[in-house]
Amino acid sequence: MDQATFDARLQRYYGTHVDEGARLGRTAAGAVELIRTREIVGAHLGPGSRVLDVGGGTGVHATWLAAQGHDVTLVDPVASQVETARAVGTFAAEVGDARALRAADATFDAVLLAGPLYHLATRDDRLRALREALRVLRPGGVVLAAGITRSIATMDVVLSRRFTALPGPELTRLLETGEPAEALDRDEGGFPGAHFHTAAELADELTTAGFRDARAVGVEGPGSLALEFLRPDDDVVAAALVLARAADGDTEAVDLSGHLLGVGVR
């Protein structure tokens, strides 16, 4: 699928199918993703930071960041989501593309890319988005860029087919390249992933874009897959957080997390 076709599908998907806040509250995986993302992002922000939330949707992260006292601007390509975000009233929100930000050079302390990288199919487009983040950051500013792991994307296909009629070549391609073949593409009601990362690949893209001290952190931790099947019970979430924090920094466990958060410094 070419990027223009994918972008059109993304507009339909996020304009009609998805409530990101509801998704994050539906399962234990979503609850842990939200808590851990806030932990990791918060640890890299000074008081009163100016934050650009790119691909911020309806403002799940921006609302929290503004409540923490940060000066937040949300950017998203889906106009209906931006309209919903603006109604919150505690941060600015505008329609825009991660690959061509309207912000001036060196004007933000942090850029959060919580969605764009797995919606951009080509490495060139992902690097464009990362270089735009680099451009708008002040010296010493930090980017926090999310990715979805190949291991979880592959297991999702296997489980959805109940271990039958598995397309071996396409699964191998997904694991080796991060590219979902057409045979693995979900229908319009499913998640429109264009690229799936490994931790090493995400860190490499950050480095290639010009960031220093690049690394990738596992968000939900190695219990990620099990959490998808569980309700967000307090005890389950608490146990999962202990596991995710304990595995933080483990170079093998990181790729078993559902989401990655790449961190780099300008």
State the CATH number of the domain containing residue 214: 3.40.50.150
Residues paired with 248 in a beta bridge:
none
Note the residue count of the chain: 266
- Contact, 85 vs 77, CB < 8 A? no
Quick: pLDDT tens for 60-98.
Answer: 999 999 999 999 999 999 999 999 999 999 999 999 999
Higher pLDDT, 248 or 21: 248
pLDDT surpassing 60 at residue 180 = yes
Q: Which of 6-10, 29-33, 141-145, 157-161 has the weakest average pLDDT?
A: 6-10
Our count of domains for the chain comes to 1
Q: Report the candidate in 145, 139, 134, 126 with the shortest Cα–Cα distance to residue 216.
A: 145
The range of the structural domain enclosing residue 117 comes to 3-265
To the nearest 10°, report the CA torsion of 20, 87, 70, 239.
Answer: -30
DSSP state for residue 188 in the 8-state scheme: T
